[in-house]
Amino acid sequence: MGRLQELSAGTLHTLAADNRVGRSSACAMRLASSHASANHALISWLERDWVIADMGSRNGTFVDGVRLAPGRRVLLDLGAMLEFGDRSEQWQVVDVAPPLPCLVPLDGGEVMVLDAEAVALPDEQSPTAVLVATGAKWQLEQGDVVEILEEGEVFQVGQRSFRFQSGRAAAVAETIDCIDAAHVGPALRFVVSSDEERVELAFERGGGWHSLGERSCYYLALTLARERLKQQHDGSPDPGWVEVETLLRMLPEYRSVEHLNVDIHRLRTTVHKARVATPGALIERRPGRLRIGIENLQITRTCAR
């Protein structure tokens, strides 16, 4: 992605597809200098290049020492030097790569690059929402609400609001590790102790089974796998879907939808890191429902240890 670096402090700023620059709290790139205007300049990705335009600032926007006429767009080359009203504060263009999908905080602050297939918000330790890549789209899962984000859509997580920017479709494709999102591998196998206290998950690749070890979140996947196998056996044309409220009753250790979502994120992350499945393919979601997205499932029993 495009990046600017402030030369005196070394501060880096990552560029979204559209970046307002200025002192306003609504700016993606906030400036502290009193010489900068509230909405000073706009840096955007235009087809194949980064461009900058002054937004009628009081003290001007400079590119390589030349003041821009308000509203006139100028191409930004690698190494270009930028000044926003304060001639003593210089920013250098250090990366001109195309933008990636990202979130722009509306309260200002650094752009959040969506550089993984599943991104937890506000953080990995206490996720209350998850963004999941589903092909060329991004799906927001928050509580029991599932929605596909549109370009420029604003949503709120906790006390913070974000604007979604998709970047280029080609850039999204480059982040996907050639995993088939429609069908994930030949099979998943659950090895369950007779007392159901331990669950091991394994996947088949290259004619052999590879273990992902034992984790508590695998019991959630096991429950969904059992439901899918049952519905497949009963001849359901679209098997595996379980109402979230029903799942919470089946698994009373989950005290809330938010608690359930934490383990869904852990499960997706573990399986994706092993390059077995994309997050959106492993656990699929619809409003109020979810299922395991893999058809070929095996469940075996072992003695309790």
- pLDDT at residue number 36: 93
Which residue's structure tokens are 């307002």? 20
- pLDDT at residue number 175: 26
- pLDDT at residue number 182: 33
Which residue's structure tokens are 């330790």? 125
- pLDDT at residue number 106: 75
3-state secondary structure string across 209-247: EEEEEECCCHHHHHHHHHHHHHHHHCCCCCCCCEEHHHH
Instruction: Output the DSSP codes for the chain.
Output: --EEEETTT--EEE--SEEEEESSTT-SEE---TTS-TT-EEEEEETTEEEEEE-S-SS-EEETTEEPPTT-EEE--TT-EEEES-TT-EEEEEE-PPP-SEEEETT----EE--SSEEEES-SSS-SEEEEEETTEEEEEETTEEEEPPTT-EEEETTEEEEEE---HHHHHHTS-S--SSS-SS-EEEEEETTSS-EEEEEEETTEEEEEEE-TTHHHHHHHHHHHHHHHHTT-SSTT-EEHHHHHHH-TT--SHHHHHHHHHHHHHHHHHTTS--HHHHEEEETTEEEE--S-EEEEEE---
Those residues of the chain that have pLDDT short of 50 are: 169-186
CA-CA distances (angstroms) from residue 115 to 119, 230, 273? 8, 36, 13
Which residues, 6+ apart, have CB-to-CB distance to 174 below 8 Å? none
Model confidence over 60-118: pLDDT tens digits? 999 999 999 888 889 999 999 999 999 889 999 999 998 888 887 877 667 788 888 88
Assess whether the region 3-95 and the region 188-302 belong to the same CATH fold: no
Nearest to 56 by CA among 31, 77, 81, 84: 84
**How do the domains of the chain map onto residue ranges?**
3-95, 102-174, 188-302
> Against a cut of 0.75, is the pTM above it?
no
Model confidence over 238-257: pLDDT tens digits? 899 999 999 999 999 998 88
Give domain 102-174's CATH number out of 3.40.50.300, 3.20.20.70, 2.60.200.20, 3.65.10.10. 2.60.200.20
Give domain 188-302's CATH number out of 2.60.40, 3.40.50, 1.10.10, 1.20.120. 1.10.10
Asked if 74 contacts 51 with a C-beta cutoff of 8 angstroms, the reply is: yes
Tell the CATH topology of 3-95: Tumour Suppressor Smad4 (2.60.200)
For CA atoms 285, 291, 296, 301, give the dihedral sign: positive
Which residue's structure tokens are 């979810």? 290
